[in-house]
Structure 1
């Protein structure tokens, strides 16, 4: 009898994870009928999520892989595993962040190992230079922080999330799992969803629902506008009041204006080659081990031509359009902060008014209680 498997898709970021996440959610029933179970999950706010990051960030499992009393999510998985009739698919690009936290995957690996399931780890790989550019564009369009591209590159090298030998270290040589690194561009060319399902043993997905590509390059004007908005706000905006709806409106705006048609590229060919050369020793060692070939054969270098929005070279119409969007969203964040501050002031005034209306004897009793 063939051993059942848990397919652990760890992303990482900027390798089609959002596209796959929505594909999985749209096809849960079809996957189940094909022998692949995609468990329910929740996000940090307790709402239904399309990924499984919470499964390694919770304390529902003991380090040995047993369910703790009161577990909510893992019992559903255990019930399916106990029957041994379905493979399991767990997916989250946030898993690639958790790999840098020692022991984070121990409970999960032990859970499946002691129940006779093989864990197969899927991790996509990209050309280092284009990967860094994509990550930088993502961080800037989402108002993460004001940051120069050169600083972002150094962060990538220092933290190790662009180095497969480092971010995949927890799964290399671990007998409880099998690491299956996947060249992203090759998978995308074959059809990302088709390629992924084939690796999970589902050969025919013609009746599955496919959705539009998610998180493509936001465009040069978008990144310029986002950086100007953050500069005027005095920093990143992801922690500001009203961020989520304001970002959604920003995204709808740049898509409506067609700004994504001219991608934002920070690198020229010389800079891209310098980044690849810097990563080469580690990347080649990894590629040699898993593919028997140099890294450049696994992740073919993409041609890079710098493409940024330069106001001085733009037409007056373009400058006015971009300036209008910048003003619109600086104002949107400002109004949200102002509204939040006014609301807090009203709540404080009401609380003070209630205290002022308290009877003297009640106030005295309250003081005695607090003492």
Structure 2
């Protein structure tokens, strides 16, 4: 459904993950002047630097730190102050977009804090969510956890954990939004929106006419992680301990790993953890839930929104790889593992990792001239 623009509204796009959230954030950021001219306020995040790096997720993450139970700001609040000023004026719609809200809106305390804040200023809240067929969503999400060195688990373990936690079940994902009288839910099929134009679909959901004139923005997104990237990441995780993303030096280490898998061309051969049997099992597990949701909120059959697909498992097999490929992967793994171990030792003593030139020089010597130019144009959303 599309909320009309007559009354100032907060449009809160929550993703969830792997449903084109980066595309939408980039589209909004690229049209921020036109949106402002039409009466929409979009927070400008200093970290974006021309591209949404984190979108508006920080507002979701700090909601309980900055908002009192009555919707007022806590002493020392720094991020929600800008929204307070705009909402107090009550003249502009507010657009917040980031998949971090998918996690925050599963916490009753955060849901209440955010809604109470906007209600205090007379703002209704429309939550926008796109729902995706689970097998492809799970495959994409798993690749994300591996390439970012998040989780030591197999694809099947990831699928089972997602089922237990309700990460991709629409009813559980939206349990605090569905039938909540304080919220308007605007939900769409990711597959259908991609076919018709995701950006245009989102624009309609925030109340803009089809002739609004928002410009298309060149697709910018993280490149897909191919089978070599996933294999190398799993080797790095196998040879290290601890929660890597909680390390102070994690971002530097990940950027170093990412530079390798992009420049070496490891993004070209997509990882697929699904075979046809596993695909069918996942579809069957969510079938009843999906059908009920599709009929109620999308006025369609789930099978029409997300027709059956054919999958063939595609993972890196070291037994079939050439010695050159194995040496290339080993050089990257050795360098990143060394950096992680040095960082952990330094950080345990209160210090920080320093990227010693000799580490990079040694790795470069191992990699030799095998690096090739990173792919230029980014692919469409997986």
TM over 0.5: yes
| C-alpha distance in structure 1 between counterparts of 2:272 and 2:137, whole Å | 11
Secondary structure at the counterpart of residue 122 of structure 2: coil
When structure 1 is superposed on structure 2, of 287-296 and 150-159 the one drifting more is 287-296
TM-superposition CA deviations, 1:257-292 (whole Å, max 9, x none): 221111101110111111110111111111111123
Identify the match of residue 33 of structure 1 among 37, 46, 59.
Answer: 37
Which consecutive segments of 4 or more residues in structure 1 shift more than 6 A?
none
Structure 2 length-normalised TM:
0.80
Q: Structure 1 regions of 5+ residues with no counterpart?
A: 346-371
> Following the alignment from structure 1 to structure 2, what is the Cα–Cα distance between the partners of residues 223 and 319?
14
Task: Note if contact 1:7-1:121 (Cα within 8 Å) is conserved in structure 2.
Answer: yes
Cα shift at 1:161: 1.3
With the length of structure 1 as denominator, give the TM-score of the two structures: 0.83
Moved more, 222-231 or 50-59: 50-59
1:220-260 Cα deviation digits (max 9, x unpaired): 11000000111111455223452211211211211112211
| 2:149–2:244 Cα contact (<8 Å) kept | yes
| Residues 146-161 of structure 1 mapped to structure 2, 5 A cutoff | 146-161=152-167
Shift of the alpha carbon at 1:26? 4.1
1:298 equivalent to 2:302? Answer no
What whole-Å deviation, never above 9, does each CA across 1:135-159 have from its counterpart, x for those lacking one? 1111011111210111111111111
2:365 aligned partner: none
- Aligned position for 1:359: none
RMSD: 2.7
The residue that corresponds to 1:50 in the other structure is 55
Separation (CA, whole Å) in 1 of partners of 2:81 and 2:204: 28
Alignment coverage as a number of residue pairs: 341
Tell whether 2:237 aligns with 1:230.
yes
Structure 1 counterpart of 2:118, from 86, 104, 112: 112
Task: Find the residue that maps to 2:109 and give its secondary structure.
Answer: coil
**In 2, distance between residues paired with 1:290 and 1:3?**
24
The answer as to whether partners of 1:127 and 1:301 remain within 8 angstroms in 2 is no
Q: 1:258 aligns with which of 260, 265, 274?
A: 265
| Closer, same or farther: CA 260–204 of 1 in aligned 2, 3 Å | farther
Q: Deviations over 1:307-357 (max 9, x none)?
A: 001011222322222222222222222343455567759xxxxxxxxxxxx
Contact 1:127 1:300 in 2 (8 A): no
Query: Measured at CA, do residues 129 and 175 of structure 1 come closer, stay the same or move farther in structure 2, by a change above 3 Å?
Result: same
Cα distance, 1:184 vs structure 2:
1.4
Larger radius of gyration: 1
Kept after mapping to 1: 8 A contact 2:257/2:336: yes
Q: CA deviation at 1:118?
A: 2.5
Q: Give the unaligned 5+ runs of structure 2.
A: 48-52, 353-382
1:215 aligned partner: 222
Deviation at 1:109, TM superposition (A): 1.6
Contact 1:146 1:235 (C-alpha < 8 Å) held by counterparts: no
1:107-156 deviations in whole A, cap 9, x for unaligned? 22233334333211111111111111111111011111210111111111
Report if the CA contact (8 A) 2:125-2:184 is conserved: yes
Deviation, 1:101, is 1.8
For 1:285, the equivalent position in structure 2 comes to 292
Larger relative helix fraction: 1
Distance change in 2, residues 1:244/1:150 (3 Å): same
CA deviation after TM superposition for structure 1 residue 41, in Å:
5.7
CA distance in 1, matches of 2:299, 2:348: 60
Aligned counterparts of 2:198 and 2:26: Cα–Cα separation in 1: 13
Distance change (3 Å), C-alpha of 1:303 and 1:73: same
